[in-house]
Amino acid sequence: MTGRRPLGVILAGGLATRMGGGDKGLLPLGGRPLLGHVIDRLSPQVGRLALNANGDPARFDGFGLPVLPDTVEGFAGPLAGVLAGLDWAAGQGADSIVTAAADTPFFPRDLVARLVEASEGQAHPLVLATTPRDGAALKSGGKVNRHPTFGLWPVALRDDLRAALNEGLRKVVLWTDRHGGREALFQAEPFDPFFNVNTPEDLARAETLLERA
């Protein structure tokens, strides 16, 4: 893929049930909101940055980002956030977006470059981030864990995604596989860079990892 850098969209639309509800991105990590760490990692890698979140956008005023609500009815999961981001990007004249989760503060600083590299030759850039499963060595052909909230998505397929969501599709990989989606493999040592904060115990672990990230 050539041309301008993708735009960035941080997905913050999860229900956070294991944290007791609310916005995980607003939880403190290292004395500042978790979302602040995500913004710091993604913003240098993309052209512009926006936040996908539902409800009152005023709670995110301090971050200075456009807040994009889901554009399909009901809680449709991360694909709804991807679609909201694609609709926003279309209005910006962009060709693609890269998404990152609001509760994953240690994702790679070369995420976007690696996703774009993996998309070379695709008619529509569509790539998900992966890591080796069970800590296996990084090698071609090994089993991987796909991280569906970290991906490169083409604006050209937004209407197809909208139709799929309206038909009830919710599983990210079913849609990406349907359109020949690829994978970009990232090392999971010394820890999984896509580690996300789901529980109070995860937040405590993130505090210890902050010094190593």
80-94, 118-132, 199-213: lowest mean pLDDT where? 199-213
pLDDT for residue 36 is more than 50: yes
Residues belonging to the binding site are 11-13, 24, 52, 70, 103
Query: What value does the mean pLDDT take over residues 116-132?
Result: 97
What pTM was estimated for this model as a whole?
Answer: 0.91
Query: What value does the mean pLDDT take over residues 78-100?
Result: 97
Residues belonging to the binding site for GTP are 11-13, 24, 52, 70, 103
Query: What is the secondary structure of the chain as a DSSP string?
Result: --SSPPEEEEE-----GGGTSS-GGGSEETTEEHHHHHHHHHGGGSSSEEEE--S-GGGGGGG---EE--SSSS---HHHHHHHHHHHHHHTT-SEEEEEETT-TT--TTHHHHHHHHTTT-SS--EEEEEEGGG----TT--EEEEEEEEEEEGGGHHHHHHHHHTT---HHHHHHHTT-EEEE----SS-TT----SHHHHHHHHHHTTT-
Residues belonging to the binding site for Mg(2+) are 103
Query: What value does the mean pLDDT take over residues 83-107?
Result: 97
Full set of structural domains in the chain with CATH: 7-209 (3.90.550.10)
Of 62 and 134, which is predicted with more confidence?
Answer: 62
